[in-house]
Amino acid sequence: MRIFPPAPDIGETEGFDPSKDIFGREKFGAGLTNLVQSVPDPMVIAVDGQWGSGKTTFLKMWAGELRKIGCPVVFFDAFENDYLEDAFTAIASEIIALAQNLNKADTPAANKFLNTAVSAGKVILRSGLKMGVKAGTAGLLDAEDLKDLSGDIAKEASTLADKYIGELLTTKNEQKDAIRGFRAALGALPDLLAEKAPKAEKEKQEGDTRNSKPLIFIIDELDRCRPGFALQILERVKHFFNVPNVHFVLGTHLEQLRNAVIVAYGPDIDADTYLQKFISLRFVLVDYARFRNERTNVKFMEYLVKTMEFRSEDHEAVDSSASFIINVAEHQELSLRTIEQIMSVLALALAYSSNNQLRLPAVLAGLSVLKVVAPNLYAKAKRGTLKFPDVKEILGLQLNENDEEDSGDSWSTNWWRFCADENVDEEFLLSRRQLLVTYNIDDRFHIVPHLANNVIDRLVSV
């Protein structure tokens, strides 16, 4: 049994493997590929979804599909790199690294890009960033970098750093020339970095009249990095990297980016209007399905149950608990990441208990939900003060008159009523009192604190 599901291992050229594309997003990826190949004008595309909606997995798979058809791709995790001083440094360095990985760093076009990147970096540095030898090369090169690149490039970069290190300002014309030169050099890179597509993919592309492949820069986790760094990325992309056949695709939650704008510029700014200046198109990862088993959260739950390797003796409890958790997830619109955290709580509880213990799936699953999304109610459960009205709404517990007694929803609701509802009649209690005898429990209101303290938090001091 696993307490956490394994992170999907997605190879750089793997693409949309059906066994890993559990949400069936290959068609969306194909449409996105068609878009970036068909439009030469530079675009910034936002793939919008809340944290834990599967953006990273989708973007990694899509990057693999792009590489298979020969598109040069840079995948950049903004959250992992937000310690850097400036976004220009980070982005330009990744492009240089891609050229090095493709053994094209010593070509004239790559040399020109490096030199103009250094000059453009100077414009940023003289606008108020810290100076220094490494800063003088926009952070693109350190001593080892200079050794690895050709001698001419290293000599030129060092010369630029020495020449301008003492200068505090450049003229407006020099700044414009530096940025213009950088853009021109960047515009030559898509053709340089594009690779020949594998034979199978080449056959699919016969008749395709497009002569060049765009350079695709995927920036993931933009909503999780420092607000200032996130906005700096948008601004640097707009002002420095706005070049034909170079597209940026952002994995982000736009609501969080709006908050970053407000933090940076104050509550009076129109955050949506601000973001529209930098983002060309927005595509939302939505959950649309005609049938329940096609829904994203249902597919994700199936994936969790399969990959978390529960013991065979726990399968009945897992299946019942998973069904209950899905109902709550739909009722509360929980994210996939939250569902994963709830299942981790459940997995830990099952791992340190056995099926001959009292483990009511509906109550156990409900407590797992409360521990993640409502810690205050979970604390009441541990103290034995949690009552049915406290959880009725958050867990979506309803008993409709037309429901059968043994239907899934009624079954779950009735167990919670038995354990926490003070207002039930004697007839309702009679059918479940045998449970108290079987597990040597003298009071039905002791079941919830027992499960919270002795099953879910078995390894946590009470």
**Mean residue pLDDT across the chain:** 82
pLDDT value of position 177: 81
pLDDT value of position 114: 81
> What is the pLDDT averaged over residues 188-196?
81
pLDDT value of position 403: 44
> What is the pLDDT averaged over residues 34-47?
95
pLDDT value of position 290: 57
Give the pLDDT confidence of 91-128 residue by residue, as tens digits. 988 988 888 888 887 888 888 888 888 778 776 765 54
What percent of the chain is modeled with pLDDT above 90?
45
Determine how many CB atoms are found less than 10 A away from the CB of residue 429. 13
pTM of the model: 0.76
3-state DSSP: the chain helix, strand, coil percent, rounded to 5? Answer: 55, 5, 40
pLDDT value of position 166: 45
Query: In sequence order, which residues have a C-beta less than 8 Å from that of residue 433 and are 6 or more positions away?
Result: 444
Q: With both helix axes pointing from N to C terminus, report the angle between 361-373 and 315-332 in degrees, rounded to the nearest 10.
A: 50
* Residues facing residue 252 across a β-bridge: 48
pLDDT value of position 342: 97
* Tokens found for residue 206: 């016969």
Q: Say if residue 171's pLDDT is above 50.
A: yes
pLDDT value of position 34: 96
pLDDT value of position 434: 76
Reduced to 3 states, what is the DSSP secondary structure of residue 220?
A: strand
pLDDT tier, 8 (very low <50, low <70, confident <90, very high otherwise) = confident
pLDDT value of position 137: 41
Q: Say if residue 157's pLDDT is above 70.
A: no
> What is the pLDDT averaged over residues 179-183?
85
pLDDT tier, 48 (very low <50, low <70, confident <90, very high otherwise) = very high
> What is the pLDDT averaged over residues 323-333?
93
Give the pLDDT confidence of 334-385 residue by residue, as tens digits. 988 999 999 999 999 998 888 788 888 999 999 999 999 999 999 999 999 9
Burial 82-113 (b: 16+ CB within 10 A, else e): bebbbbbbbbbbbbbebbeeeebbebebbbbb
* Tokens found for residue 450: 């027992």
- Sign of the CA dihedral 124, 125, 130, 134? positive
pLDDT value of position 399: 67
Low-confidence winner among 40-54, 63-77, 207-221, 391-405 (lowest mean pLDDT): 391-405
pLDDT tier, 247 (very low <50, low <70, confident <90, very high otherwise) = very high
Low-confidence winner among 45-49, 249-253, 289-293, 436-440 (lowest mean pLDDT): 289-293
> Would you list the domain boundaries of the chain?
26-284, 293-456
Radius of gyration, alpha carbons of the chain: 28
Q: Which residue has the higher pLDDT, 177 or 390?
A: 390
pLDDT value of position 462: 35
pLDDT value of position 349: 92
Long-range contacts: 151-158, Cβ < 8 Å, 24+?
152/111, 153/105, 153/106, 153/111, 153/114, 153/115, 156/111, 156/115, 157/114, 157/115, 157/118
